[in-house]
Amino acid sequence: MAAKAGGQRFETVSIEERIRLKQREAELLKRIARLKKAMNETRELDTLANKRKLFKEAQEELRRLQARLAGIDSGDTK
């Protein structure tokens, strides 16, 4: 991590790492869309509860990844 003007911090990563993170973001968005559809089609409560858990986990991972990308995008990369 490096310091940025105004006291904010950003992470310096390679272009390959940025590409990998963007690809993971796209995968998570697709997974969330599939889970939403599956949850709408599910009638059994135990299956619905499991899909809801998977959905929440995917959303949390997506939030972390997007926060990391936001930190990367606000700074210079190598």
Phi, psi of 4 (to 5 degrees): -120, 155
Predicted local distance difference test score (pLDDT) of residue 71:
84
Q: Which amino acid is at 68?
A: R
The region, left, alpha or beta by phi > 0 then psi within -120 to 50, assigned to residue 77 is beta
Higher pLDDT, 43 or 7: 43
Domain residue spans in the chain? 2-73
pTM of the model: 0.66
Predicted local distance difference test score (pLDDT) of residue 43:
83
Q: pLDDT tens-digit profile of 23-72?
A: 999 999 999 999 999 988 888 888 899 999 999 999 999 999 999 988 87
Q: Which amino acid is at 76?
A: D
The angle subtended at Cα 25 by Cα 22 and Cα 26, nearest 5°, is 90
Phi, psi of 58 (to 5 degrees): -65, -40
